[in-house]
Amino acid sequence: MNKLLEWPKISIALLALPAVLLIGLPLVAAVWLIITILTQNGSQDWLLFLSVGSVLTGLVYSIALAIIPTLLALYSAFWLLARMTKPPAWMAALLAIPHVAFAIGLSLLLLPGGWISRVWLGLDLQLQIPLLTPFLSAIFTDKSLPFLLVTLWLKELPFLLLMALIVMQQLPVREWQQVGASFGYRAPQTFWRIIVPQLVRRLRLPIMVVAIYGLAVVDVALVAGPNLPSPLAVQVLQWYQQPGSELFAALGSVVLLVASALVLLLFRGHEWLHGQCARLAVTRGVNIAGQATLPSFVQGPGIARLRKFLAQLPFAAFLVVQIATVIALLLWSFTAAWPNTALLPTSYSVANWQWEWQPLQEVLWNSLWIGVVVASLATVLVLLMLEWEYQRGKRIADAYMLLPLLVPQLPLVMAWHMHVAPFTLAAPAFWLVWAHTVFAAAYIWLTLAASYRNFPNMWLTQAATLGYSAPQRWFKVRLRMLAAPIVLAWSVGFSVSILQYLPTLIFGAGRILTVTTEATAYGSGFERSLAAIYGLAQIAWPLIMFVVAAILANKYRVHTIRGA
Residues lying near other proteins in the complex (CB under 8 A) = 172, 175-176, 178-187, 189, 193-194, 197-198, 201, 275, 279, 282-291, 293, 299
C-alpha to C-alpha distance for 473 and 462, rounded to whole angstroms:
10
Q: What 3-state DSSP class applies to 396?
A: coil
Closer of 187 and 265 to other proteins (Cβ)? 187
Closer of 11 and 178 to other proteins (Cβ)? 178
Closer of 294 and 351 to other proteins (Cβ)? 294
C-alpha to C-alpha distance for 532 and 513, rounded to whole angstroms:
17
Q: Whole-number minimum distance, CB 305 to other proteins, in Å?
A: 13
Q: Whole-number minimum distance, CB 238 to other proteins, in Å?
A: 46
Closer of 275 and 471 to other proteins (Cβ)? 275
Is the separation of the CB atoms in 203 and 167 below 8 Å? yes
Q: Whole-number minimum distance, CB 178 to other proteins, in Å?
A: 6
- List Cβ<8 Å contacts ≥24 apart for 45-50: 45/247, 45/251, 46/251, 49/247, 49/248, 49/251, 49/252
Nearest 5°: CA angle at 395, between 394 and 397?
140
C-alpha to C-alpha distance for 44 and 560, rounded to whole angstroms:
68
Is the separation of the CB atoms in 167 and 202 below 8 Å? yes
Q: How far lies 204's CA from each of 198, 407, 441, in Å?
A: 10, 15, 20
Q: Whole-number minimum distance, CB 293 to other proteins, in Å?
A: 7
C-alpha to C-alpha distance for 433 and 427, rounded to whole angstroms:
10
Kindly report the number of other CB atoms within 10 A of residue 546's CB atom.
20
Among 455, 437, 449, 434, which residue's Cα sits nearest to residue 489?
449
Q: Whole-number minimum distance, CB 80 to other proteins, in Å?
A: 19
What b-and-e string marks burial along 427-436, b requiring 16 or more CB atoms within 10 Å of the CB?
ebbebbbbbb
Closer of 265 and 298 to other proteins (Cβ)? 298
Closer of 9 and 186 to other proteins (Cβ)? 186
Contacts of 205 (CB under 8 A, 6+ apart): 398, 402, 446
- List Cβ<8 Å contacts ≥24 apart for 274-279: 274/196, 274/197, 274/200, 275/197, 275/200, 275/201, 278/192, 278/193, 278/196, 278/197
Nearest 5°: CA angle at 224, between 220 and 226?
110
Q: 348 pairs with which residues across the strands? A: 335
Q: 337 pairs with which residues across the strands? A: 347
Q: What are phi and psi of 337, to 5 degrees?
A: -150, 135
Closer of 193 and 478 to other proteins (Cβ)? 193
Closer of 283 and 465 to other proteins (Cβ)? 283
Closer of 190 and 497 to other proteins (Cβ)? 190
Closer of 190 and 366 to other proteins (Cβ)? 190
Q: Whole-number minimum distance, CB 526 to other proteins, in Å?
A: 52
Q: Whole-number minimum distance, CB 270 to other proteins, in Å?
A: 16
C-alpha to C-alpha distance for 397 and 435, rounded to whole angstroms:
21
Q: Whole-number minimum distance, CB 165 to other proteins, in Å?
A: 19
Q: Whole-number minimum distance, CB 440 to other proteins, in Å?
A: 34
Is the separation of the CB atoms in 538 and 446 below 8 Å? no
Q: Whole-number minimum distance, CB 458 to other proteins, in Å?
A: 24
Closer of 3 and 86 to other proteins (Cβ)? 86
Q: What 3-state DSSP class applies to 174?
A: helix
Closer of 7 and 185 to other proteins (Cβ)? 185
